[in-house]
Amino acid sequence: MNRFSTTIVFVLILFFSSLVLKAVPDKGTAEANVPIINKANISFRIGVPLWASEKRCTEVFNLFDKYKGVTDEITFFTSATHPPLPIKVFKERASILKIRIAKAKKRGYKAGINILSSIGHHNENLDNSLNGDYVNMTNIDGQICNGSFCPNGEHLREYVQTIYQLSAEANPDYIWIDDDVRFGHMPIGLGCFCDNCLQIFEKESGVSYTREKLKSAINEGSVEDKLKVRLAWLQHNRNTISNLFTLIEKTVHTIQPKMSLGFMTGDRFYEGYDFENWARILAGPNHIPVMWRPGGGYYTDNLTAELVGKSHDVGRQVSVLPKEVVSIESEIENFPYQRLKKAANMVVLEACSHIAAGCTGAAFNVLSFYDEPLDEYEPLLAKLQEARPFFNLMVQKLGRTDLTGIETFWNKNSFATGNIDQGNWLSSGNPLVSHDLYNIGLPTFYSGKNAKVTILGKDNILTLSKDEVRQILSGGVYMDAEALAQLNRLGYGELTGFEVVKSDKVDRIEHFTNHPLNGSFAGASRDNRQSFWKSEAFTLKPNNTKAQIISSLIDYSGDEVSPCTSGTFENKLGGRIFIAGYYPWTFMENKSKSTQMKSIFRWLSNQTLPGYIESFHRINLWIREPNQGKIALAFTNASFDEAKNVILKLRTANKTIKLYDMQCKETTITSSGADGVYQKFTIPEVGPWQIRLVSCE
């Protein structure tokens, strides 16, 4: 959707006030010119077995027609397996897709092509896949993936140009680039370190490396020397994808100048997380609207906690997209598409949860890839059709307004700090601190911009300048003892308030002091059994008279063995700091600890936390920035128990909120009183694994 000037938006709002939600924020609140979105963007992705035969494809179309409104878009996969297709096969399929796309459009659907493999995912069906004079994706030890190819290879670029030409000529409404455009591929892990990539890197960095020398440079030597090479390599990865997307954009828009391109992503730390730049490349010089499909791993509902984990992955991806990217369809994938692997209710909740985290719709990849009757999928489509009005309502209320709340610190260079002290950089994994804090009703936030509180783990600050570190420490910061020790070593001790004295590996229990932040739980204990769940218990020492002790350590006899394992400090920059020396990331789900954490985060934010769940429930919460004085939020009861009398504390002067359930039923709830800048709203009940939408106008 195009961005409008303030005047045009105002006129359109007056004219279409009965049709769309006004979503342009006041100055000084959310970002200006937030696009107006009046319904969710919903797509279904269908595999080759569902469209290859005309009879089968007609059955799929009839199924969508039967459940009218369940989808707006039908997206056709080019392949059922994951390496690139031979050009001959791709050309044959593109000619069939041209017919299928025309018929889908005739039935009133937007229709597009999902190119499953531009460079390839992994080894599969190799006998029937692309082969020839192409450079395989190569890891740092020289091992290759036979089902994936280096995007810098000249012949691979010629191949990419050909398949995107064929796709554009099939006259789709849009073309999706799938998430094979990355550098993590089975069975080799991270790439690409082929000879050509090393030559390109030499031109970029001014240093010539063999694979062996580069491996030493990223894993050995001083922290400063390793970071320099790692950061340069991340930029090399960004450049590689940018160059590929420049080729794709020019190829498609030469044939179809107004065609939208879309890209599917996951957390792309190793690739350099350059989403903003890649989105603008794909838009081209004419600024054609770009689509995005953020994703992650949640394929079955065996582990329901993974659902919100994926929403957090999705939220990070959305947080770095430019505002002009409006169509953001979360990936909902039920691979291998066996109906009993994921309940229809969970598929609906997943789409809602990702919208709460920042998406404006969903792309469902949930239908069979076998040539068999589709009746087993009808209950799923019926449930999604029933949920469509709620998807629309969520997007109308939340739109592309920014989230606000507590950020777990990261940036596009965070991957460079993995295993920075010792070990293999390329096996370091996700660079974020993993924690339970977002499961107890604290508001989740994904961007460092305007964070109310920052959660800080060790090493991430190494990618920041001194001024940037001081800027973080001038706000609210929650950190563990290892991050504290690192900051002190780097010379920030006067801003942290504490120092690490020692640590113990067994038999320590946290004991809450008689401090106002502990409230009625002063004297409570938290025993996380170090003999079972290994974690060091740190003894801290205040290094400033303003530092205050929040908890101590006792042993199993009840004797105090450390006067301080956590504490607060307000530094000279105005920053509010909390140091957690005992299980800082896990085991927050008992009442005393979760209550203490809410008090602490409210204090850390200096009463600017936008809201939180005061009651003792397992709830995930997403709150949007105020928009023209309006607040919108969503929360999930992430439990198999019904949540009764959920208490929402919201930073607003308004005395009423509107609560919407998943059937769009609206209930007005009146505040039971103020707590400083917060109003208290009690929500009578929320069913297990249900989401609620709240609007405060």
Domains of the chain: 38-400 (3.20.20.80), 406-607 (3.40.50), 627-696 (2.60.40.1180)
- Which is more confident, 104 or 23? 104
Beta carbons of 474 and 573 less than 8 angstroms apart? yes
Burial of 313 (0-12, 13-18, 19+ CB in 10 A): buried
Beta carbons of 582 and 481 less than 8 angstroms apart? no
CA dihedral 307, 312, 316, 317 (to 10 degrees): 0
- Which is more confident, 485 or 305? 485
Beta carbons of 496 and 484 less than 8 angstroms apart? yes
Give the per-residue pLDDT at 697. 82
Give the residue carrying structure tokens 């550098």: 183
Nearest in space to 307 (alpha carbons), one of 694, 587, 691, 43: 691
Give the per-residue pLDDT at 33. 63
What are residue 509's DSSP bridge partners? 554
How big is the chain by its Cα radius of gyration, in Å? 26
State phi, psi for 504 to the nearest 5 degrees. -125, 145
Helix (H, G, I), strand (E, B) or coil at 407: strand
- Alpha carbons within 13 angstroms on the beta-carbon side of residue 323 total 17
pLDDT, tens only, 118-158: 999 999 999 999 999 999 999 999 999 999 999 999 999 99
SS3 per residue for 384-399: HHHHHHHHHHHHHHHC
The identity of residue 447, as a single letter, is S
Q: How many CB atoms lie within 10 A of CB 2?
A: 9
Beta carbons of 136 and 194 less than 8 angstroms apart? yes
pLDDT category of residue 272 using cuts at 50, 70 and 90 = very high
What are residue 174's DSSP bridge partners? 112, 260
pLDDT at 16 over 50: no
Mean pLDDT of all residues in 623-642: 93
Give the residue carrying structure tokens 């959310």: 30
Q: How far apart are CA 184 and CA 171, in angstroms?
A: 32
Q: How far apart are CA 213 and CA 205, in angstroms?
A: 14
pLDDT at 569 over 90: yes
**All residues at 6 or more sequence positions from 390 whose CB lies less than 8 Å from its CB, including other chains:** 352, 660, 662, 663, 664, 693
pLDDT category of residue 629 using cuts at 50, 70 and 90 = confident
Mean pLDDT of all residues in 267-288: 98
Task: Report CA 409 to chain centroid distance, whole Å.
Answer: 13
Beta carbons of 349 and 691 less than 8 angstroms apart? yes
Q: How far apart are CA 687 and CA 679, in angstroms?
A: 23
Q: How far apart are CA 552 and CA 511, in angstroms?
A: 5
Helix (H, G, I), strand (E, B) or coil at 93: helix
CA dihedral over 97, 103, 104, 109, signed as positive or negative: positive
Helix (H, G, I), strand (E, B) or coil at 437: helix
**Could you tell me where the DSSP H helices lie in 170-222?**
195-205, 211-219
Q: How far apart are CA 13 and CA 39, in angstroms?
A: 15
Q: Rounded mean pLDDT of the chain?
A: 94
pLDDT at 13 over 70: no
Output the pTM of the full model: 0.94
pLDDT at 626 over 80: yes
Beta carbons of 232 and 239 less than 8 angstroms apart? no
